[in-house]
Amino acid sequence: MNEGAWDELKQAARLARSHAYAPYSGFTVGAAVRTKSGAVFTGCNVENASYGATICAERAALAAAVAAGERELAALVIASGARRPTPPCGICRQCLSELAPSLPIRSYTGDAHAEYDLASLLPHAFSRDQLD
Ligand code: THU
């Protein structure tokens, strides 16, 4: 993906972050996923008084894409305000892996970013193959 396309995802993730509902942790996160059709879907973290019911930004973006009928994920951007760029949590790794086991990911905080690919973040993922 070219830099312009990454930049568009970064802006979308930042906008989504501005809508995060994180009254408990104060840690706001936005995510934007591009599908192979070129469409962009976003999510933010949505916390809950029952802490474990919290939804992460990455899974919210994934759900938005699927709800729009888009399952072929091409790239994901995460935007946070952490001191260093943050990788997706383990639950989100597993969820993303269902549809895009080697998804390219960038995580931004301010002007800094880190790059990951999902296959490296989640080696030996549990997948539908194991259900046979
Ligand atoms: N969070 C995300 O949205 N994405 C991540 O990759 C890590 C954590 C959220 C969950 C919770 O609302 C807050 O950040 C602190 O963990």
- For the beta carbon of residue 73, count every other beta carbon within 10 angstroms: 22
Catalytic site residue 58? yes
In 3-state terms, what secondary structure has residue 75?
strand
Structural domain of 98:
3-130
Number of domain units in the chain: 1
Chain segment 7-38, per-residue pLDDT in tens: 999 999 999 999 999 999 999 999 999 999 99
Chain segment 96-132, per-residue pLDDT in tens: 999 999 999 999 999 899 999 999 999 999 999 999 8
Catalytic hit among 8, 47, 58, 70: 58
Helices 3-17, 57-67: inter-axial angle, 10-degree rounding: 110
Ligand 1, residues at Cβ distance < 6 Å: 22, 25, 27, 29, 45, 47, 54, 56-58, 86, 88-89, 92
Rounded Cα distance, 66 and 62, in Å = 6
Give the global pTM: 0.97
CATH number of the domain that residue 84 is part of: 3.40.140.10
